[in-house]
Each structure stands twice: as structure tokens, then as C-alpha cells.
């Protein structure tokens, strides 16, 4: 008799709980707000004939899963890895949840789909560097920079993001990385100010560090607060604030070195 | 007049580019890139048009973010993506970076260099004006972009037409 056939109910329930935990931690890491993570869990749980009750915090998820037929339940805890924003994952998980409901997927089908989503490719590093630098140049234009200023902003953003990515590879602390990225970007832009490149060199300096702005953290923080997920909202707001602080110190130190008033 | 319109279009274009740049940083699906550009362009156009008409930057940012929030709902429904995917990147270019920069610069001058009392008072004025403008623009952006969803009292765009 094959062993897999005698898999009992409770181990099946544990497997389901682990899958749901995996999905919600994947969503949190990718930059979804708490409400969306809860929503996805509920959708997948309803497909699998279960009811899930979860406590989602910034670093840990606790979940109790109850089988609706047998009334058995199990509780599992999972730690959330460091956050890396990835909207493709959010989009793919959302699509999978709808397909799972309409086509009544089995546990194995959902597991296979989540494994596929985890392996989705990111954009190539060079494309990201180029696109974000172009965004930096765009910022510079928005704040009244001319095309020479935009060039300076482009180069500074490029340098800053490059440092941010390199230090990520070396596994530096996030806030040290943000400081270094901001510092390098502003030093590069300050060279532009020093040689007075373009009509408005200060603009290039102000916009060179904007690529670090914690937009997702701050927006998610407010949506979490509005959804009454106060704790998560406060955590996200604090992370955003820490990021802004690291950016500001980087700019601050660079400007102090150049004695710019 | 023509010059103003051209300038407005140029700025809006670069807002769109900045939105796409952030979209790529956040790894949005390829099918959402064009939508993000259009939303970024529209948001930039609304914001700078309003500011040209002497509307305060806080209100201008709020209305532009509100526009992004509203348009992203039917778009999300149409191309089957959750609305966050293209409601966040177009809002990022409106983040008040310049006010933040001015605030930091004023704080730095206040603490490290300026000795003259009357100039120190004008620096305090600059710190508060720029700092709180930045804070209120941030709030107006985040509330503006999430308000349409909250007003509809829906968790998902899939059930909008039911």
C-alpha cells in the first residue's frame, strides 16, 4: 500500500495552513497592505473548504485554520523574510485566487501555481538602473530643472541606486544601505553644484535622492490605518520615517562636506 | 499661451516617465506599464494645471491623487490587475521631495552655520513652512489615492458591477 494514500486529515490541514501562510507572507513581502493579505487568505481558504483566522504583524504571521467539515483545527506560525517590493507577485496571486475560486482548484494546483509565482523573473538589473535614473531625470524636470540638470540627476540617481544594489549583495543593514545610496547620489549631484552645471543645479541635488523615497511604505501605512490595522500601519509609518531619516542624513553629511549654504 | 501648454505637457510627460521608472523598480507586470504612464501623465497634468491656476499644492496633489485612485478602479477591472499595481507608481512623482530638501537645508543652516538672530527666525519660518507643507502633501496623496476604494466600501474591484 502506497504511503501517500494514508495521509490523514490533520496532515492535510497542516499542509493547507503552511500554503496559506506562504501566500500571505509572499504578499506582505511584495508590498501588499494587510487587508489584501487577509483577503487572499480568505479566498484561498474558502476554495479549500477551510476557515482561516490570522494575526499578521510586520515580521510574523500566526494562523489558525479550521476545517469546515470535520471542525479540526491547527495553528501555525511563520516568519516573514525581508521586504522586497514586487507588484508582479501581488498581481499574479490575485489572479490565481480568482481562478482558484471560479475553477475550484485543489490544494496541489494552488501549490503548483504559488511555486510558479515565486520563480517569476524580475526586470534585468540594467533596465531597472536605467529606468529609475530616467525617473530621477524626470523628477528634475518636474522641479524646474533644465536638460543639463536632468543629466546630473540621471547620473547621480544611477550612482546611488548602483551603490544600493551592490550593498544589497553584500547583505548590509537596510538603513546603512539607504544612507550610503543617498550619500553617494548627493555627492555626485554636489559635484554638479560645485561646477555650476545647468541653470538650476540645486534642483538636481534635491531630486537626486528621491529614488529612495519610501512611497509604498507610506501609502500602505495610511491604507492600513484607514482599514483599522493600526499596529501594522504604525510599523509601516515608522519604517518610512526611518528611511527618510537615513536619506536626510546622507544628504546632510554630503552637504556638510561640501560646505554648501 | 501655447508656450504654457507646451511646458505643461513637457512636465506631464516627465511625470509619466518617472511613474514608469518607479513601476519598473517595483517590478510591475509588463501589461501595466502603459497604464502607469498614462496615469502618471494625467496626474502630473492635473497637478501642474491646478498649481498654474494658483491652487495650493496640497489641494492640487490631493485632486491629482484622487484622479489616479478613481481611474485605477475601472482599469484594474478591465485588465485584471489589483488596483495597487498601478495606483502607487503614478503617485510617487508627486512626493514632495523639494519641500523635504528645503526643510533639511534650513535645519542644517539653523544648527550649524547661522548666528544672526533675525536670519535664524526666518530659518525657523522656512523649517515650519516647508516641513508642514511636505507633511500635508504626503497625507493628501495617500488619502487621495485610497479614498475612491474606501468610498465604494468594496474590498475588490471584481464585484464593482454586481
pLDDT (tens digit per residue) in B69-123 = 998 888 887 877 888 888 889 998 888 877 877 888 888 888 888 788 888 999 9
Q: Inform me whether the pLDDT recorded for A125 exceeds 80.
A: yes
For residue B162, the model assigns a pLDDT of 40
φ, ψ of residue A214 in degrees (nearest 5): -80, 60
Q: Distances from the Cα of B128 to the Cαs of A148, A252, B106, in angstroms? A: 31, 18, 10
Q: Inform me whether the pLDDT recorded for B161 exceeds 60.
A: no
Task: Quote the CA–CA distance of A112 and B114 in Å, as a whole number.
Answer: 63
Q: What is the pLDDT averaged over residues B135-151?
A: 86
For residue A7, the model assigns a pLDDT of 52
What ipTM is given for this predicted complex? Answer: 0.86
For residue B156, the model assigns a pLDDT of 58
Quick: pLDDT tens for A35-64.
Answer: 889 988 999 999 988 899 999 999 999 999
Reported as a pLDDT band with limits 50, 70 and 90, residue B42 is very high
This prediction's pTM: 0.87
Optimal mutation site among A130, A219, A246, interface B, most CBs of chain B within 10 A = A219
Please identify which residue in the block is written with the cell numbers 464585484.
Answer: B159
Could you give the 3-state DSSP secondary structure of residue A61? strand
Q: Return the DSSP state at A53.
A: E
Could you give the 3-state DSSP secondary structure of residue A65? strand
Residues 6+ apart with CB under 8 A from B82: A36, A90, A91, A94, B76, B157
Quick: pLDDT tens for A167-215.
Answer: 999 999 999 999 999 999 999 999 988 888 888 888 888 888 889 988 8
Q: Inform me whether the pLDDT recorded for A17 exceeds 60.
A: yes
Q: What is the pLDDT averaged over residues A104-124?
A: 89
Could you give the 3-state DSSP secondary structure of residue A64? strand
Residues 6+ apart with CB under 8 A from A145: A153, A198, A200, A203, A204, A207
For residue A81, the model assigns a pLDDT of 92
Query: How many angstroms away from the CA of B140 is the closest CA of chain A?
Result: 10
Tell me whether residues B92 and A209 touch, CB distance under 8 A: no
Tell me whether residues A131 and B97 touch, CB distance under 8 A: no
Taking residue B73's Cβ as centre, other Cβ atoms within 10 Å add up to 17
For residue A261, the model assigns a pLDDT of 54
Task: Quote the CA–CA distance of A199 and A220 in Å, as a whole number.
Answer: 37
Q: What are the structural domain ranges in chain B? A: 2-159
∠ CA A146-A151-A155, rounded to 5°: 150
Task: Quote the CA–CA distance of B38 and B44 in Å, as a whole number.
Answer: 10
The Cα diameter of chain B in Å comes to: 66
∠ CA A155-A157-A160, rounded to 5°: 110
For residue A200, the model assigns a pLDDT of 83
Tell me whether residues B27 and A88 touch, CB distance under 8 A: yes
Q: What percent of chain B has pLDDT over 90?
A: 41
Tell me whether residues A141 and B139 touch, CB distance under 8 A: no
Report the residue from A39, A206, A219 with minimal CB separation from B101.
A206
Quick: pLDDT tens for A142-167.
Answer: 888 888 999 999 999 999 999 999 99
Q: Inform me whether the pLDDT recorded for A91 exceeds 80.
A: yes
Task: State chain B's mean pLDDT as an integer.
Answer: 86
As given in the structure block, the three cell numbers for residue A131 are 529606468
Amino acid at each position: 500500500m502506497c504511503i501517500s494514500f494514508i495521509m490523514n486529515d490533520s496532515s492535510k490541514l497542516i499542509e493547507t495552513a503552511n500554503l496559506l501562510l506562504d501566500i500571505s507572507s509572499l504578499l506582505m513581502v511584495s508590498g501588499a497592505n494587510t487587508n489584501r493579505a487577509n483577503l487572499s487568505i480568505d479566498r484561498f481558504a474558502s476554495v479549500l473548504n477551510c476557515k482561516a483566522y490570522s494575526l499578521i504583524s510586520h515580521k510574523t504571521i500566526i494562523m489558525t485554520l479550521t476545517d469546515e467539515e470535520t471542525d479540526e483545527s491547527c495553528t501555525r506560525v511563520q516568519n516573514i523574510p525581508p521586504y522586497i517590493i514586487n507588484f508582479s507577485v501581488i498581481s499574479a496571486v490575485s489572479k490565481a485566487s480568482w481562478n482558484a475560486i471560479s475553477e475550484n482548484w485543489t490544494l496541489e494546483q494552488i501549490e503548483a501555481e504559488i511555486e510558479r509565482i515565486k520563480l517569476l523573473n524580475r526586470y534585468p538589473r540594467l533596465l531597472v538602473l536605467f529606468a529609475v535614473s530616467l525617473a530621477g531625470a524626470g523628477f528634475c524636470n518636474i522641479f524646474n530643472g533644465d536638460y543639463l540638470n536632468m543629466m546630473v540627476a540621471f547620473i547621480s540617481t544611477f550612482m546611488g541606486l548602483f551603490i544600493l544594489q551592490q550593498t544589497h549583495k553584500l547583505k548590509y543593514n537596510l538603513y546603512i544601505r539607504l544612507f550610503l545610496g543617498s550619500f553617494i547620489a548627493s555627492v555626485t549631484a554636489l559635484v554638479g553644484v560645485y561646477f555650476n552645471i545647468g541653470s538650476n543645479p540645486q534642483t538636481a541635488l534635491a531630486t537626486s535622492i528621491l529614488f529612495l523615497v519610501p512611497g509604498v511604505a507610506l501609502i500602505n501605512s495610511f491604507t492600513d490605518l484607514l482599514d483599522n490595522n493600526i499596529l501594522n500601519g504604525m510599523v509601516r509609518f515608522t519604517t518610512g520615517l526611518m528611511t527618510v531619516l537615513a536619506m536626510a542624513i546622507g544628504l546632510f553629511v554630503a552637504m556638510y562636506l561640501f560646505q554648501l549654504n | 499661451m501655447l508656450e504654457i501648454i507646451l511646458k505643461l505637457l513637457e512636465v506631464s510627460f516627465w511625470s509619466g516617465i518617472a511613474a514608469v521608472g518607479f513601476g519598473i523598480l517595483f517590478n510591475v507586470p509588463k501589461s501595466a506599464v502603459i497604464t502607469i504612464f498614462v496615469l502618471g501623465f494625467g496626474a502630473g497634468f492635473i497637478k501642474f494645471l491646478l498649481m498654474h491656476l494658483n491652487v495650493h499644492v496640497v489641494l492640487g496633489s490631493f485632486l491629482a491623487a484622487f484622479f489616479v485612485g478613481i481611474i485605477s478602479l475601472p482599469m484594474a477591472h478591465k485588465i485584471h490587475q489589483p488596483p495597487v499595481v498601478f495606483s502607487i507608481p503614478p503617485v510617487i512623482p508627486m512626493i514632495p521631495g523639494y519641500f523635504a530638501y528645503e526643510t533639511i537645508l534650513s535645519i542644517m543652516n539653523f544648527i550649524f552655520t547661522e548666528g544672526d538672530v533675525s536670519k535664524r527666525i526666518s530659518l525657523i519660518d522656512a523649517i515650519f513652512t516647508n516641513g508642514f507643507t511636505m507633511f500635508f502633501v504626503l497625507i493628501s496623496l495617500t488619502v487621495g489615492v485610497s479614498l475612491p476604494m474606501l468610498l465604494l466600501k468594496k474590498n475588490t474591484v471584481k464585484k464593482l458591477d454586481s
